[in-house]
Chain A
Amino acid sequence: MRVLALSFLALLAACGTDQPGRLRPPPGPPTGATTIHVPDRLTSIPTGEVDALGRPQRAPCVGCHSLRRPARLPSSVDELDEFHQGLRFVHGGVSCASCHVVGDQDVLHRADGTIIPMVDVLQLCAQCHGPQYRDYLHGAHGGMNGAWDLSSGDRVRNNCVDCHDPHQPAFQPSVPVLPPRDRGVLQGRGAR
């Protein structure tokens, strides 16, 4: 009986003995780098062909345009040829010449005429899309990958043209993925 009572007391003593709170030190000063992604479409264009492994092949802009330097920019998408045929253009009232520079495929020009490299396209978009640029600078527009805590790693920000086709910036309709099939849905009620 005494043994039983003692073991009961021992059990009681073992209950409710929380381990001391385990907290790790707070995040340090930011050491990680934030870089802006440079998508392929800023330096190359899909050819519509695939290589031996089935990967879509892209042609670098410089591959053709180092030799072919058109004398003037097309006035509409219908004038485009080669890989550029079939380009859809739905982007407000701007024209090819609003952004592109004739004779140099690697650069763009801002509204004030300043020439900027193609990879700095963000500066170009920011001219008209100020609120989006402001939000982007504060991390509230445009996706990212990597670390929320820059003391623990790096971060890669999406470029404008990662998500938006510069020639047709609005998101086009797409088919949603992963249709839910769990019990809540099968019962026929929407928001369960």
Chain B
Amino acid sequence: MSSPTRRVALKVVGGTLGAGAFAYAARPFVQWASALSVDEVLRRHYKELTPDEMSQILRQLEADTKARYGADVHIEDLPPQEGVSFGYALNLSVCIGCRKCAEACHVENNHDRRTNNSYIRVLEMDQGSFDMERGQVDYDHAVPAPGKYYMPVQCHQCDNAPCVKVCPVEATWKEPDGVVVVDYNWCIGCRYCEAACPYHARRFNWQAPEIPADQINPDQGYLSNRIRPKGVVEKCTFCLHRTRRGQLPACLEACPTGARVFGNLLDPDSEIRWVLEHKRVYVLKEELGTRPRFFYFFDV
């Protein structure tokens, strides 16, 4: 048997190094795969799930939340109601820009505490101007400031939603009651929807949200405020877990000026219908043809 040549020795060393480098490079995938069960990989789309399958998923998500965050939560998947189509209106004449709505959203929807995330951004704008590009969101002086007005912006639940059209995997869609939802377990995190939304209403989870167990809202919905995983897109759902039970959204209850009006567009006696029929109402960026169901109105 001949002694190993220099060529063979180099091959062995190179092969070993190469295999090591490959294993190192593939490590995130291995970790990712270990966190993902076979069931999850083979799971079908939300709309194809039977009630039994959904119930299993909900129990699993509750167990995952307990393991990851140490909180006992209850996750529901309440279907929409017949004869209900949600609409929301906001009175710009009385909004003072206090951001209480954003805070209520932050708490209700289990947002990341570190980033102060919220589905609502309040723009401080110059009176007489309508240039959203010049609106400020990080103002920190007393409000309302002279010469300014305040425009909270959140998901407009468009009937012709650009975000739904661009999703390559149908992870986001419009529910029969008009709310655009995201299946956080189906989203691949491509952020096309975030780019498509003209209202900057979608947020991307760069990190898994950090929330202390005692601050987690245990009343959760599969399509709304359950804690989102890292790498998926999220958005306002008009607090589906509340509103589908007949409750008002958290941002409305928190508003100290009563600027927000919510209700069923199909009920002719609802408050939202009265506003649409009697107030000067406009929708943001109407020219884009998105057909929002979020309306702004004035008292004059």
Contact = CB atoms under 8 A, between A and B. Distances in A.
Contacts of A158: 258
Nearest to B47: A18
A26 B81 contact: yes
B290 interface: no
Contacts of B115: 180-183
B258 A190 contact: no
A184 to B, nearest CB: 7
Contacts of B98: 174, 176-177
A142 B256 CA distance: 8
A138 B270 CA distance: 8
Given A148-B262, A183-B206, A173 B144 contact: yes
A176 to B, nearest CB: 5
Interface string A1-37: 0000000000000101111011111110000000000
A113 interface: no
A52 interface: no
A14 B44 contact: yes
A143 interface: yes
B232 to A, nearest CB: 15
Contacts of B51: 19, 22
A98 interface: no
Interface residues of A, number: 49
A150 to B, nearest CB: 8
Contacts of A180: 102, 115-118, 121, 137-138
Contacts of B103: 177-178
A27 B84 CA distance: 8
Nearest to B279: A140
B135 A191 contact: yes
Interface in B174-208: 176, 200, 203, 206
A55 interface: no
Interface stretch (B26-34, B60-68, B221-229, B239-247): B239-247
SS class, residues of chain A in contact with chain B: loop
Interface string B137-176: 1111011110000000100000000000000000000001
A19 B48 contact: yes
Given A18-B47, A24-B79, A173 B142 contact: yes
A147 interface: yes
Given A143-B258, A190-B133, A190-B135, A21 B176 contact: yes
B116 A17 contact: no
Given A176-B140, A180-B121, A190-B135, A27 B271 contact: no
B285 interface: no
B116 A173 contact: no
A138 B274 contact: yes
B80 A23 contact: yes
Contacts of A22: 51, 79-80
Given A152-B246, A177-B103, A178-B99, A23 B91 contact: no
Contacts of A45: none
Contact of B278 (A138, A147, A163): A138
A151 to B, nearest CB: 7
Contacts of B261: 139-140
A16 B170 CA distance: 12
B252 interface: yes
A27 B115 CA distance: 38
A15 B275 CA distance: 44
Contacts of A21: 176
A135 interface: yes
Contacts of A138: 271, 274-275, 278
B118 A178 contact: yes
A145 B260 CA distance: 11
B25 to A, nearest CB: 27
B289 interface: no
Given A145-B248, A173-B142, A190 B81 contact: no
Given A138-B275, A175-B142, A183-B206, 5 more contacts: A24-B82, A135-B299, A171-B144, A177-B100, A191-B136
The 9 A-B residue pairs whose C-beta atoms are closest, nearest first, are A152-B246, A139-B271, A26-B83, A149-B246, A143-B258, A173-B142, A22-B79, A138-B274, A142-B258
Interface of B: 44, 47-51, 78-84, 89, 91, 94, 96-100, 102-103, 106, 114-118, 121-123, 132-140, 142-145, 153, 176, 200, 203, 206, 243, 245-248, 252-253, 255-258, 260-264, 267, 270-271, 274-275, 278-279, 299
